[in-house]
Amino acid sequence: MEYTISELAKLAGVSTRTLRYYDEINLLKPARINSSGYRIYGQDQIDRLQQIRFFRELDVDLDTIVSIMTDPQFDKTEALQQHYDRLVHKRIHLDHLIQTIEKTIAHEKGEYSMTNEEKFAAFKEKMIKENEEKYGEEIREKYGEQTIEASNAKLRNMTEEDYNAMQSLEKELFELLKQALTLGDPHSHLAQEAAAKHKEWLMYSWSNYSEEAHAGLAEMYVADERFQAYYDKVGVGAAELLRDAILIFLGKK
């Protein structure tokens, strides 16, 4: 079965403008252009658009989607399994949030005595699950099961003040990194301040900090495309700049 651009837009719940943009960025090309100049889409394009919608539902940015789906090694079945796993994690997180809201309502009504730890448990679990989902295998292999479990335990026991401080530190780190990127020099005061902030940020979750582990993590930011994409949201080259700044900060470069 074939669809015109308007038919496919209606089927998928997107705008024709979106489909034209996907064509422009080589993310979703039509199967052919008919004699009247209309874009025509077939089954392969329908399946590809479904994959794109899955990625977008999981808040993956378009640049990353293009990079993933144009990779010759892209495996549709494996991608679907990853979508499934991430959606299950998302559902679990939503269940935790619902439970937290229910307890909070009961607490406000005087029907339940809610601890401060319970108020933030769902948010901390989300942080742990996201880290496990994205980087669990690599960091466990690099740092060991015991180290990672100790780090997760420290996050779970984090106070409200520490949790808020950690979130604020990450925002400050990204802002410093964005400014440092305009200079392009890892030795600059902005880049070095970002490296110091990064260490301060790590101390909230790492139970046993070492400069060697810090340097190893910095190298992973560039070696692993997922870490690189996370920091390069600030701008292309941000992950590499942060890596170099950290190594200089630690006296290892």
Q: What is the pLDDT of residue 86?
A: 76
pLDDT of residue 144: 61
Same domain, 253 and 166: yes
The pair of three-digit structure tokens given for residue 162, joined into one six-digit string? 């520490």
- Model pLDDT, residue 140: 60
Of the candidates 18, 49, 69, which is a domain's last residue? 69
Asked if 219 and 235 sit in the same domain, the reply is yes
**Given this model, what pLDDT does residue 206 score?**
79
203 and 140 share a domain?
Answer: no
Shared-domain flag, residues 138 and 189: no
- Average pLDDT over the chain reads 84
Note whether 207 and 147 are within 8 A (CB): yes
- Here the CATH number for the domain that contains residue 191 is 1.10.490.50
Asked if residue 165 has pLDDT above 60, the reply is yes
Global confidence as pTM: 0.46
**Nearest of 229, 194, 126, 124 to residue 166 by alpha carbon:** 124
Residues 114 and 164 in one domain: no
Distances (CA, A) of 221 to 30, 77, 126, 189, 229: 36, 27, 21, 21, 9
C-alpha–C-alpha distance, residues 232 and 225, integer Å: 10
- Which whole number is the average pLDDT over 183-206? 92
Instruction: Verify that 152 and 173 share a domain, yes or no.
Output: no
Q: Which of 109, 125, 158 is the last residue of a domain?
A: 158
Q: How many domains does the structure of the chain reveal? A: 3
Determine which of 19-28, 45-54, 77-86, 163-172 has the lowest per-residue pLDDT on average: 77-86
Q: What percent of the chain has pLDDT over 70?
A: 81
Is residue 95 located within the same domain as residue 146?
Answer: yes
- Tell me: do 105 and 154 sit in the same domain: yes
CATH code for the domain in which residue 22 is found? 1.10.1660.10
pLDDT tens for residues 66-119?
988 888 888 888 888 888 877 777 777 677 777 777 778 887 888 878 776 666
164, 199: one domain: yes
Going by pLDDT thresholds of 50, 70 and 90, the confidence category of residue 196 is very high
Q: If you average pLDDT over residues 230-253, what whole number do you get?
A: 92
Task: Count CB neighbours of 144 within 10 A.
Answer: 11
Question: By C-alpha distance, which of 103, 137, 147 is closest to 121?
Answer: 103
For the cut 60, the answer to whether the pLDDT of residue 135 exceeds it is no
Q: What range does the domain containing 192 cover?
A: 159-253
- Name the domain boundary from 45, 69, 93: 69
More confident of the two residues 209 and 214: 214
- The confidence score (pLDDT) of residue 150 equals 58
Model confidence at 18: pLDDT above 70? yes
Residues 190 and 250 in one domain: yes
SS3 per-residue string spanning the chain: CCEEHHHHHHHHCCCHHHHHHHHHCCCCCCCEECCCCCEEECHHHHHHHHHHHHHHHCCCCHHHHHHHHCCCCCCHHHHHHHHHHHHHHHHHHHHHHHHHHHHHHHHHCCCCCCCHHHHHHHHHHHHHHHHHHHHHHHHHHHHCHHHHHHHHHHHHCCCHHHHHHHHHHHHHHHHHHHHHHHHCCCCCHHHHHHHHHHHHHHCCCCCCCCHHHHHHHHHHHHHCHHHHHHHCCCCCCHHHHHHHHHHHHCCCC
Identify whether residues 152 and 163 lie together within a single domain.
no
Contact 173, 204 (CB under 8 A): no
Average pLDDT over residues 25-36: 94
